[in-house]
Structure 1
Amino acid sequence: MNARPELRALTSMRGIAAWFVVLYHIRLSIAGLPSEWVAFLAKGYLAVDFFFLLSGFVIWLSWSETLRDRGFAAVPGFLRKRVARIWPLHLFMLACAVGLALLFAVTGRQDDVNYPFRELPLHIALIQNWGFTDQLSWNDPSWSISAELGAYLFFPFLTLAIDWRRIPSWAVLAAIGSLVVLLHAVMVRGGALTLGTDITRFGLIRCLTEFTAGTAICALWLRWKAHPVTPAAISVLIIVAIALSWWSGLPETLAAPALFAALLLTLALTSGMRHNPLDKGALHYLGEISYATYLGHFLLFVAFKLVFVDDPHAVSPALIGLFLMLVLASSVALYHLVERPAQRWVNSLALLPDTERRATRRWRGASSSTTPAALPLHHAGPPPRIREE
Structure 2
Amino acid sequence: MLNSLTSLRFFFAFVVFLSHLTFVKTDLVWYNWLKNNIFFEGYLGVGFFFILSGFVLALNYEKKIIDNPNFDKKKFYIARIARIYPLHVLAFFCMLPFVMINVWKGFFHWYISIVNLFLFQSYIPIKDYYFSINNVSWSISTELFFYIMFPFYVIWLHKFPKLKYILLLIIPIIIFAEPYFKTDLKLEKGIFYINPIVRSFDFILGIIACQIYQKIQKIELNTSKGTLIELASILLLSVFFYFHNDVARAFRYGIYYWIPMLAIILIFALQKGLFSKILQNKVLIYLGEISFSFYMIHMIVIKYGNQYLPKINDFTKVGIYFTIALFFSWLIFEYFEKPIAKWIKTKF
Structures share a fold, TM > 0.5? yes
Aligned partner of 2:189 among 193, 198, 207: 198
Say which structure, 1 or 2, has more relative contact order (CA 8 Å, 6+ apart): 1
> Is the CA contact 1:10–1:268 (under 8 Å) kept in the aligned structure 2?
yes
Q: Which amino acid aligns with 1:131?
A: I
* Alpha-carbon spacing, 1:235–1:228, altered in 2? closer, same or farther (3 Å): farther
Paired residues of 2:237 and 2:260 also in contact (CA < 8 A):
yes
Give the match for residue 12 of structure 2: 17
Contact 2:125–2:189 (8 Å) recurs in 1: no
Once the two structures are superposed, residues 214-261 of structure 1 have per-residue CA deviations (whole angstroms, 9 ceiling, x without a partner) of 000011111111115379866765664575366454556243122111
| Residue 50 of structure 1, CA deviation | 0.4
Deviations along 1:111-155, whole A, 9 cap, x unmatched? 41xxx3112222222121013744321111011110011111111
Q: Which residue of 2 aligns with 1:290?
A: 291
Which residue number in structure 1 is paired with residue 116 of structure 2?
123
Percent identical residues: 23
Q: How large is the Cα RMSD of the aligned pairs? A: 3.3
Instruction: Give the Cα–Cα distance (whole angstroms) in 2 for the partners of residues 187 and 215 of structure 1.
Output: 29
Kindly indicate which of the two structures has a greater share of residues assigned to helix: 2
- Residues 1:270 and 2:271 are matched in the alignment: yes
Separation of aligned partners in 1, 2:102 and 2:115: 21
The 2-side partners of 1:7 and 1:284 are apart by: 10
**Bigger CA radius of gyration:** 1
Query: Which of residues 324, 327, 336 in structure 1 aligns to 2:325?
Result: 327
Partner of 1:158: 153
> Given residue 210 of structure 2, which amino acid in structure 1 is its aligned partner?
C
Distance 1:183 1:244, change over 3 A: closer
Shift in alpha-carbon separation, 1:186–1:94, aligned structure 2, 3 A? farther
Q: Encode CA deviations 1:26-76: one digit per residue, 9 max, x unaligned.
A: 144254552221121111111000000000001101111222233364111
CA distance in 2, matches of 1:184, 1:344: 46
Letter of the 2:167 partner, please give it. Answer: A
Q: Deviations over 1:325-362 (max 9, x none)?
A: 10111111111122111111111123xxxxxxxxxxxx
CA contact 1:232–1:265 (8 Å) conserved in 2: no
- Verify the 8 A CA contact 1:68 1:160 in the aligned structure 2: yes
**Distance between the aligned counterparts of 2:313 and 2:119, measured in 1?**
33
Pairwise mapping of residues 67-216 of structure 1 onto structure 2 (< 5 A)?
Answer: 67-71=65-69, 73-103=71-101, 109=105, 111-112=107-108, 116-131=109-124, 133-135=126-128, 136-163=131-158, 172=164, 175-178=167-170, 191=183, 197-199=188-190, 202-203=193-194, 204-216=196-208
User: Relative to structure 1, is the Cα distance of residues 245 and 127 closer, same or farther in structure 2, using a 3 angstrom cutoff?
Assistant: closer
- Would you say the 8 A contact 2:16–2:43 is kept in 1? yes
SS of 1:129's equivalent in the other structure is: helix
